[in-house]
Structure 1
Amino acid sequence: MPYTLSEIIVLFFTYSFIGWLWETCYCSIKDHHFAYRGFLFGPYCPVYGFAVTTILITTFPFQDNIFLLFIVGFIVASIFEYVASWFLEKLFHMKLWDYSHLKGNIQGRVAPQISFFWGIGVVLLVKFIQPIVQRVINWEEAWTHGMLALIIVLVMGTDTVLTVISVKKFHVTTQQWDERAAAYRRKLRERLESAQPEDRAVLKHRLHDWHHQFAHHLNNEGASKQLSWNHRRLLKSFPKMKITDSKYFNEYKKDIKSK
């Protein structure tokens, strides 16, 4: 093993933070508003930490071979991205990214174009970033003797538990809203079936535009107050987020005020 356990933990945290910083800056610029990225409460994206530490360990024997670095980075990062997407969907019924629009994608979870940049990123990481990070970690290990790693485990462990509770509550709320959405649509259909001919056009339009009207009702009732800060953050920072077992939520979520 090229790294000690405490070094692996600190590496994991460091690259989780770097990944969060990169995503937050990139998405904030792209979306023209501050996007607090990451699934957990804290400023870190564990998928980056897991992927990078695994890559550093698996590529250690041949870090002087740029081609092999690229290939391993391409493969390992793709596996982690796929597993992370599958995990979020199966456990939390959420999809935070979707590459279905890209050619060669696998179930929208990974795509060769994205993995290609992962491969390039791994080469840059190993050759230019990791040597600097490792020097800092060596200095930290000499001073803390593993205490920083223990603090990281406690903080991120607590964060994970709180995030799971928060997301479960968010899922319950979306299910309740979906039940109301179904009732709202059913009421409009019943009114359309019994409506006079002169009223049908208006009701057809309302039924076609039901998701905007339903979101308007939720907003008037203070929908955002039913959501925690973390729930509103997820809605705002992940506009392409989908709840996989909600039939209607994905249609009206973009109209819910997240402020």
Structure 2
Amino acid sequence: MTLFYEFVIMAFIFSILGWIMEVTLKFIQYHRFINRGFLIGPYCPIYGFGVVGVTILVGGLIGREGTYAETFMAGFVICGFLEYMTSFYMEKMFHARWWDYSSKPMNLNGRIWIGNLILFGLASLIIVKWIAPHYFDFIETWNPFLLGVFAWAILVCMLFDYVISHFLMNIVKKEIDTTDGDNTEEISIQVHALLQNKNLLLRRIYQAYPEFKVLPSRLTKKYKKLKKDYKTAQKECRNLLHQKFRTNFNSEQLKQAQQRLEEAYQELNRLTGRFKKRY
């Protein structure tokens, strides 16, 4: 259990350092303090989990010690995967795109982009090769009992924070899903305005993600239905075209199917313009 406790404390430390980095970057961008991250406390667990994941994989404590190239690639892949899945989870769970790299070069679905991945790789290289050895030398001097107490205190604190933050994010989700409008840009502006007039904790979410774009469930369902209708109309047209040279071919039926396909395409296009515009 000692190694587990050491990893918990390591994740906590680098979560705080990641939060400090995010706050600093946003201060440079917006010239004001912004408490970044999904959680209320001063930590961004994605950074801590990323560091621990890379250390376990190529740090030499459990498995083999990776080369410089392997350590870089481990950070590149593991941290990129964590950021992508965090974005995916938060979008599906809370009906908004909380950050979007669509305007950045070499991005993947707007969730991650090459610039961040390279920085993740370089940071992992520095931490695993030069910082982590000193961390473990220091943490191993701690009393095992105090080590366990501190680690469990961190876990309980962060779990409590997650529960409260999840509750607050569900309130935001309700605002997103109940706000009128069929344009995500318009609804985003309305939700941003609503959150600015809420209590301190809800305002913090708006301040943490000042550029978040909403994905109301009713528009998501409508988009999926129209996409399904379009694919059905496409399939129907293809099947009828395959029968074109048969004796029992019905040209009127094909014409109607093509009309349905065109209508489905136009409606999907209209909704895409309103719903998926930012991509």
CA contact (8 A) 2:195 2:206 kept: no
Q: 2:199 aligns with which of 225, 228, 234?
A: 228
Question: After the TM superposition, which of the residue ranges 37-46 and 231-240 deviates more from structure 2?
Answer: 231-240
TM-score, normalised relative to structure 1:
0.73
Superposed displacement of residue 235, structure 1: 1.5
Match of 1:100, SS state, is coil
Unpaired runs of 5+ residues, structure 2, are 220-273, 275-279
TM-aligned CA deviation for residue 141 of structure 1:
4.7
CA contact (8 A) 1:63 1:126 kept: no
Q: Which has the larger radius of gyration?
A: 2
SS at match of 2:112: coil
Higher RCO (C-alpha 8 Å, min separation 6): 1
Which residue number corresponds to residue 132 of structure 2? 130
CA distance in 2, matches of 1:74, 1:167: 29
Counterpart of 1:44, as a letter, is Y
Q: Which residue of 2 aligns with 1:54?
A: 53
User: Given that residues 7 and 141 in structure 1 are in contact (C-alpha distance below 8 angstroms), is that contact kept between their aligned partners in structure 2?
Assistant: no
Query: Contact (CA 8 Å) 2:95, 2:176: kept in 1 or not?
Result: no
Aligned to 1:42: 41
In the alignment, what sits opposite 1:102? Answer: 104
- Deviation of residue 245 (structure 1)? 1.9
Q: TM-score, normalised by structure 2?
A: 0.68
1:113, distance to aligned residue in structure 2 (A): 2.2
Q: Does 1:19 align with 2:18?
A: yes
Q: Secondary structure at the match of 1:4?
A: helix
2-structure distance, mates of 1:5, 1:239: 36
Summarize deviations over 1:142-185 as a string: whole Å, max 9, x none: 46141101111111111111111111012112333x22x56xx9
Aligned length: 213
Distance verdict in 2 for CA 1:245–1:139, change over 3 Å: farther
8 Å contact from structure 1 (residues 10, 137) kept in 2:
no
Contact 1:16 1:45 (C-alpha < 8 Å) held by counterparts: yes
**Aligned pairs for 1:164-183 within 5 A:** 164-176=166-178, 178-179=179-180, 181=181
CA deviation after TM superposition for structure 1 residue 82, in Å: 0.9
1:11-58: per-residue Cα shift (whole Å, max 9, x none)? 111111111111111211222111111110111111111111111100
* Equivalent pair of 1:47/1:81 in contact (CA under 8 Å): yes
The corresponding residue for 1:245 is 216
CA RMSD of aligned residues (A): 2.8
Question: Is 2:63 aligned against 1:91?
Answer: no
1:174 and 1:42 mapped to 2: Cα distance?
24
1:133-148 alignment runs, 5 A limit: 133-142=135-144, 144-148=146-150
Distance 1:79 1:241 in 2: 21
Bigger mean CA offset, 142-151 vs 36-45:
142-151
Cα gap change, 1:141/1:79 in structure 2, threshold over 3 Å: closer, same or farther? farther
Q: The residue matched to 2:107 in structure 1 has which SS?
A: coil
